[in-house]
Amino acid sequence: MSEADQGAVVDLLGVLAYAELTAFDRLAEDARMAPTLTGRAALARMAAAEITHHVRLTERLVELGADPSAAMAPFTSALDTFHESTRPSTWLEGLVKAYVGDGLAADFYREIAEFLPDPDRALVLEVLDDTGHADFAVREVRAAIAADRRLAGRLALWGRRLVGEAITRSQAVIAEHDRLADLIVTGTGDLAGIGRLIERITDAHTERMKALGLRP
């Protein structure tokens, strides 16, 4: 692996490790809005799964001779800003964020992981593998909408806001990190390749909104 490639790998593992740590924080916080002990435990379990992933990624960073804190540091501000600007104000908004927001992020990281050499490609795909907890969010949101149709419009707006913020923040991160930008441009091949990547991510997002019973 060339030095530039290794740098891009460290960047990707670093941003992902910090993303898992903030996801833990946020899910743990949102768990407190749960109306039932079962819901609270379900979100706490999702949070715990993120930490397991975080640990796998930091272990790999150490193996690569990188300091995990230093690898995460360049990305803390952008990810903190994203979470600050999309703080759920209700239990259902928290669930939509856990499902739609994390799903979108996972798709994006997964696309980039395809450009990495193994074992890092396999590691990233593994930690992004859906842990099955998403089913819980889908069930809860659909049940709430069935009980009160007015929720659908509000939550659909919320879902669109999440995507908008996610896209803005991702663009800023990529623009500021040349090695990540190079990895994506080289990996996709050309502008048409980037276009197809964005289309795949958008399609999957649309499917997730539909799964929740929300207009994308």
Tell me how far CA of residue 103 lies from CA of 60, 108, 142, 144, 201, in angstroms: 23, 9, 17, 20, 9
Q: Tokens representing 104?
A: 């979108």
Q: Tokens representing 198?
A: 């964005």
The one among 9, 12, 15, 72 contacting a second copy by CB under 8 A: 72
Q: Does 44 bind a second copy (CB under 8 A)?
A: yes
Q: Does 91 bind a second copy (CB under 8 A)?
A: no
CB of 50 to a second copy, least distance (A): 8
Choices 68-76, 87-95, 162-170, 188-196; region in contact with a second copy by CB under 8 A: 68-76
Q: Does 77 bind a second copy (CB under 8 A)?
A: no
Measured from the CB atom, the residue of 87 and 210 that comes closer to a second copy is: 87
The one among 4, 38, 122, 135 contacting a second copy by CB under 8 A: 38
CB of 157 to a second copy, least distance (A): 29
Residues numbered 133 to 192 that lie near a second copy (CB under 8 A) are none
Give 51's contacts (C-beta < 8 A, 6+ positions apart): 20, 21, 24
Q: Provide the 10 A C-beta neighbour count for residue 63.
A: 9
Taking the C-alpha atoms of residue 143 and residue 117, their distance in angstroms, rounded to an integer, is 42
The one among 40, 161, 169, 200 contacting a second copy by CB under 8 A: 40
Q: Tokens representing 152?
A: 């659908």
Measured from the CB atom, the residue of 52 and 186 that comes closer to a second copy is: 52
Which amino acid appears at position 203 of this protein? D
Measured from the CB atom, the residue of 73 and 157 that comes closer to a second copy is: 73
Q: Does 76 bind a second copy (CB under 8 A)?
A: yes
Backbone angles phi, psi at 66, to 5 degrees: -100, 150
What dihedral angle (degrees, nearest 10) is formed by the CA atoms of 40, 45, 50, 56?
160
Q: Does 85 bind a second copy (CB under 8 A)?
A: no
Taking the C-alpha atoms of residue 182 and residue 178, their distance in angstroms, rounded to an integer, is 6
| Residues engaged in binding a second copy (CB under 8 A) | 18, 21, 24-25, 28-29, 31-32, 36-38, 40-41, 44-45, 47-48, 51-52, 54-55, 58, 68-69, 72-73, 76
